[in-house]
């Protein structure tokens, strides 16, 4: 480490994954909260860790930060094994997990000063400058002298972000970072995350909000009931969304037979409507495909021609790819909050 109170502690030339796990598992009694997780977060990305509430996201983060020991498997953060490498790794990591905790009768600035004092790598002489810069970056300069018990939930969330940003970081781990923020605060936090990524910081964002991931992330992983069901760039996840065909016809049974003959899988639909998709569905009991997905559906005109040739009366026809929201619902079997 270089001397000097504000020397950067990042390693911009470092290569490889910022986070990598191998069969990482956590059990609480008979319940498996995280099951054989194989996660890889490239350096310099904004990585969305997405899944419904209760899917194991926070437990994973706690293992990554050395707060909880895994039942089996291993995790590496910034190239070091955790929790064994915590002394080396944690000074290079900023984190906001399960909401910030502060002394309620101290001011925001005083709370940050206490956080700063706990860092053995910073100089006391420049504490005030670091605290002021962190408060300014999250838009809390005006509330620096206000006691935290008078802060709103959103202000406390911003203060937690400020605590994570007191020193330069290689990796920032944020668990539901916009929780409690109003729309303007949410936009500001998104802008802050983007600016951090532009400066070379890897940002790992856990969220159940689809809009959060779509608007700020370059990569994502999807967790379902503790198991990883897809990961990759957002473009790769979108590419894995299966094309869907909808036919409106009075000859539903005949249409379903034609679509199956074309290699499509028919899904339940309303009267007079047949819906089919590429890849395994409840029709064959298969699991949803991974992010690379199966090949695309036949051209729409070929499907229509096959229906007409079979004597199916077609009253309406549409062919479209799933939205990213539908793709995530398919992967998890549960809905996502889409508001941001």
Nearest C-alpha neighbor of 159 from the set 103, 97, 108, 115? 108
Could you please state the CATH topology (level 3) that the domain comprising 242-284+291-321 is classified under. Alpha-Beta Plaits (3.30.70)
| Predicted pLDDT at 135 | 93
Could you state, in order of their start, the residue ranges of all structural domains in the chain?
17-235, 242-284+291-321
Integer angstrom CA distances of residue 226 from 46, 130, 221, 229, 251? 21, 38, 12, 9, 42
Tokens found for residue 298? 């036949």
State the pTM of this model: 0.72
- Which residues contact residue 76 at a Cβ distance below 8 angstroms, ignoring those fewer than 6 apart? 17, 19, 20, 21, 82
Nearest C-alpha neighbor of 139 from the set 86, 78, 203, 190? 190
Alpha helices (H) in the chain, listed in sequence order: 57-64, 86-89, 108-117, 127-137, 153-164, 183-198, 210-216, 234-239, 252-261, 300-309, 324-332
Encode pLDDT of 102-115 as tens digits.
Answer: 999 999 999 999 99
* Regions of the chain where pLDDT drops below 70: 1-15, 99, 239-242, 278-297, 321-326, 330-340
| Predicted pLDDT at 293 | 35
| Predicted pLDDT at 15 | 60
Q: How many CA atoms lie within 13 A of 65 on its CB side?
A: 21
Arch. (CATH architecture) of 17-235: 3-Layer(aba) Sandwich (3.40)
Tokens found for residue 3? 């001397």
Tokens found for residue 224? 């379902």
**β-strand pairing of 17-28 with 31-37:** antiparallel
| Predicted pLDDT at 37 | 95
Q: How far apart are CA 297 and CA 113, in angstroms?
A: 59
| Predicted pLDDT at 338 | 46
């Amino acid at each position: 480490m270089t001397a000097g109170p504000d020397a950067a502690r990042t390693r911009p030339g470092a290569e490889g994954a910022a986070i990598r796990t191998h069969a990482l598992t956590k059990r609480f009694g008979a319940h498996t909260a995280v099951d054989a997780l194989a996660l890889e977060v490239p350096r310099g990305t904004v990585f969305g860790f997405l899944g419904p509430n209760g899917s194991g996201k926070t437990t994973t983060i706690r293992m990554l930060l050395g707060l909880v020991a895994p039942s089996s498997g291993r995790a590496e953060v910034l190239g070091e094994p955790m929790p064994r490498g915590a002394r080396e790794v944690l000074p290079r990591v900023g984190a906001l997990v399960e909401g910030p905790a502060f002394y309620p009768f101290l001011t925001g600035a005083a709370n940050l000063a206490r956080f700063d004092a706990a860092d053995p790598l910073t100089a006391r002489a420049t504490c005030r400058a670091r605290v002021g810069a962190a408060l300014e970056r999250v838009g809390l300069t005006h509330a620096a002298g206000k006691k935290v018990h008078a802060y709103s939930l959103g202000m406390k969330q911003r203060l937690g972000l400020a605590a994570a940003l007191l020193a330069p970081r290689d990796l920032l781990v944020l668990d539901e970072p916009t929780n409690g923020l109003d729309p303007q605060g949410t936009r500001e936090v998104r802008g802050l995350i983007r600016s951090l990524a532009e400066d070379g910081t890897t940002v790992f964002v856990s969220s159940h909000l689809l809009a959060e991931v779509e608007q700020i992330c370059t990569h994502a992983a999807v967790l379902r009931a503790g198991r990883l069901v897809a990961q990759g760039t957002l473009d790769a996840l979108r590419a894995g969304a299966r094309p869907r065909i909808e036919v409106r016809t009075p000859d539903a049974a005949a249409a379903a037979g034609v679509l199956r003959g074309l290699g499509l899988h028919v899904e339940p639909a309303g009267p007079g409507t047949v819906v089919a998709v590429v890849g395994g569905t409840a029709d064959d009991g298969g699991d949803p495909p991974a992010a690379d997905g199966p090949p695309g559906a036949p051209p729409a005109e070929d499907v229509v021609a096959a229906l007409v040739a079979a004597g199916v009366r077609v009253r309406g026809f549409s062919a479209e790819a799933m939205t990213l929201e539908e793709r995530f619902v398919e992967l998890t079997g549960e809905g996502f909050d889409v508001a941001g």
